[in-house]
Structure 1
Amino acid sequence: MSFELPALPYAKNALEPYISEKTLDFHYGKHHNAYVTNLNNLVPGTEFENADLETIVKKAEGGIFNNGAQVWNHTFYFFQFSATPVTEPTGALKAAIDASFGSFDAFKEAFSKAAATLFGSGWAWLVKDAAGKLSIVQTSNAACPLRDGLTPLMTCDVWEHAYYLDKQNLRPKYIEDFFKVLDWKVVESRF
């Protein structure tokens, strides 16, 4: 199976001024694309040659896992944004957030703290467990909650390449702007 860089569902300048076209050129066009290329170079002749990304994320090790998970994580990340986002959850997802965190504002505060305090490179995630309970998890490097049997609903990429061109070392400002382009309609569809 050959993997491809999926086309973005919006123009590269559509998320400005919160995420710049220049950042998308590098983050999506170079970093994400490099993971796709690396994965395509690693899987031929292995047990994962005909596997889908989810199988690779759940079962592979080493370079195949690292690149496969980064392809999955980045695709998941880029596809949750919109130039015209629904900026708050509604319905069953809002009720689940309120039940798990007390309120949407309390959730945003907890999620932002998880993203801001993750040491080094990685991801902050809103996930659902098998019982439907929501929680926030941090993962380092290429790690993905799929591997732990959790269902990811949204993620914030806190590798420096996600924000450094726009925000330099101001990760909290990036996280604040992240919520301005996050489309809760997409998150609800994953719920």
Structure 2
Amino acid sequence: MRSLGLRLASGVSRAARLRSTCAPGRRILARCIHERKPLPYAIEEGMGNFLPPETLKMVAVDYQQGLLDRLNDQVRGTVLEGKSVVQTVVEAARDPKAVLEFNYACEALNNSFFLECLKPPPSDAPSHDKELNKSSLQARIRVDFGSVDQLKSNFSAAVLGMFSSGWVWLVCDKRGNLAVYPTFGVGTLLVRSRSALYGYSSVVGELIAPSLSQMRANTPTASPDSSGASAPSSPASGLSSSPPPLHPPGQSRAFSTVPGQVGQEYTPRPAGLFSNLSHAEDTIMPKRSQIGEFIYPLFCVSVHEHAWVSAGYGVWGKEEYMKRFWSVLDWGRVGQAYEKFISSAPPR
């Protein structure tokens, strides 16, 4: 154990020495390692009512630096040494032996993007929602979701519905269409949108959900019983019911739009946490072809238990975590990103 501790200490001190040799003005040839990006706010002051100082430090410093330190150790002496985090994601995705390199790079990339989307709340308002007035994003939200509040509800529902760890994103395509998109585990969208530049179609770890039409085509339908016998009753309730399909359709991503748009598919949505109806109601889901082939992330939220547990929300505090997230989302930055991504869109 003592020798292991010495080796670990030696590795840390070596990383520190290498980091110092990469400082501006140094002429010493050394391997530059990945470092944390500076954030535009004071970590020691916390992030409003969303993350207290101790939690923000854990997410922005301890967790982020731990990911980068492990990434630096993994790429040492390999073809990935000296590559950027994005390049590491791209190249490691094609190498089945570079799983850890891919995992650490993706997680560090996503976590950094999440932190950059945050901004301490203004002193004269509970959130940065007014910043939406400065871009065309607000109008697009009304088209695709009905209102900003409905977007928040849909996005939060996607977060609460993610049982494992991961990330939930608001994305757009070059035509301005918006969608809520989850990635599970270490999947990332920060590289996928630029995949054509590297000659591959997707990044390992992404959730590629089938279209609604594919799911329905693969779902067996129950054939009518020619004998006329009644369906077996439930042992719990005694109600007559048909047996479930052998291969039920899985959960798919939902894209919210307004009624009356061309190319929509209608599918029943069961009542849930964000519905006050006692019965299933219909929701509208556009076909996947409505969202462009290349999607661009506008913001994301970390769906990791360490974030809300360490913030004092408790193990089951994800709902409160999401309620407070909206008070620190930097809508000004999000709106600027949206304008940038749609600026080269072809005329409609």
The two structures have a TM-score, normalised by structure 2, of 0.52
Higher relative contact order (CA 8 A, sep 6+): 1
Cα distance in 1 between the residues matched to 2:89 and 2:178: 21
Query: What does 1:14-93 correspond to in 2, within 5 Å?
Result: 14-61=46-93, 62-83=99-120, 84=122, 86-88=128-130, 89-90=132-133, 91-93=135-137
Higher mean displacement: 44-53 or 29-38: 44-53
Query: What does 1:172-191 correspond to in 2, within 5 Å?
Result: 172-191=319-338
Give the number of aligned pairs: 191
Q: Aligned match of 1:5 in 17, 31, 36?
A: 36
In the alignment, is the contact (CA less than 8 A) between 1:35 and 1:67 conserved in 2? yes
Cα distance in 2 between the residues matched to 1:28 and 1:130: 31
- SS of the counterpart of 1:145? coil
Cα distance in 2 between the residues matched to 1:97 and 1:59: 35
In the alignment, is the contact (CA less than 8 A) between 1:57 and 1:144 conserved in 2? no
Larger Rg: 2
Cα distance in 1 between the residues matched to 2:57 and 2:46: 12
Query: What does 1:34-183 correspond to in 2, within 5 Å?
Result: 34-61=66-93, 62-83=99-120, 84=122, 86-88=128-130, 89-90=132-133, 91-149=135-193, 150-166=295-311, 167-168=313-314, 169-183=316-330
Tell me which amino acid in the other structure corresponds to 1:35: L
Cα distance in 1 between the residues matched to 2:81 and 2:60: 24
Shift of 1:7: 2.2
CA 1:8–1:95: 2 relative to 1, 3 Å: same
| Gap runs ≥5 in structure 2 | 1-31, 94-98, 194-294, 339-348
Cα distance in 2 between the residues matched to 1:58 and 1:179: 31
Q: Which has the higher helix share?
A: 1
In the alignment, is the contact (CA less than 8 A) between 2:46 and 2:56 conserved in 1? no
Cα distance in 1 between the residues matched to 2:332 and 2:175: 22
- SS of the counterpart of 2:64? helix
CA 1:96–1:52: 2 relative to 1, 3 Å: farther
Shift of 1:130: 4.2
Residue 12 of structure 2 corresponds to none
Higher mean displacement: 11-20 or 134-143: 11-20
Shift of 1:27: 1.6
| Gap runs ≥5 in structure 1 | none
- SS of the counterpart of 1:146? coil
Tell me which amino acid in the other structure corresponds to 1:46: T
CA 1:138–1:7: 2 relative to 1, 3 Å: same
- SS of the counterpart of 1:60? helix
Tell me which amino acid in the other structure corresponds to 1:141: G
Cα distance in 1 between the residues matched to 2:86 and 2:327: 28
Shift of 1:147: 4.3
Higher mean displacement: 76-85 or 113-122: 76-85
Shift of 1:15: 1.2
What is the CA RMSD across the aligned residues, in angstroms? Answer: 1.7
The two structures have a TM-score, normalised by structure 1, of 0.91
Q: Deviations over 1:96-128 (max 9, x none)?
A: 222221221111110010111111101110012
Tell me which amino acid in the other structure corresponds to 1:86: H
Shift of 1:56: 2.6
Tell me which amino acid in the other structure corresponds to 1:36: L
Tell me which amino acid in the other structure corresponds to 2:173: D
